[in-house]
Amino acid sequence: MPACRIPTSRLRAVQQDPTRLAKPQALGWWFAVNLKRIVGFLVVIFVLFWIISQPTSASGSVNNVLGNLQEAGSSIATFLTNVF
């Protein structure tokens, strides 16, 4: 016998409730997931458009970001070297 049993009457009530998906709470997670996908898709399109339309500016920005990451890594390595 299982340790925890769910009464079948509750299962039937959930299965037979046609308004369950129309409730705002149920639609909230669906909207949030789709909003994340839409925003992500728009960001990718914007970045591709920027790279295609202004490749010099895009490459300069990428070089700046990578340079900042390199400086941050060097700073962390110097800190850890001095600590140990």
The pTM for the full model equals 0.49
Residue found under tokens 């789709």: 34
Cα atoms found within 13 Å of the Cα of residue 7, Cβ hemisphere only: 3
* pLDDT per position as a tens digit, 7-30: 555 555 555 555 555 555 556 666
Question: Is 28 in a helix, a strand, or coil?
Answer: helix
pLDDT at 67: 97
Is-contact 27 21, C-beta < 8 A? yes
* pLDDT per position as a tens digit, 52-69: 999 999 999 999 999 999
What does DSSP assign to residue 22?
G
pLDDT at 46: 94
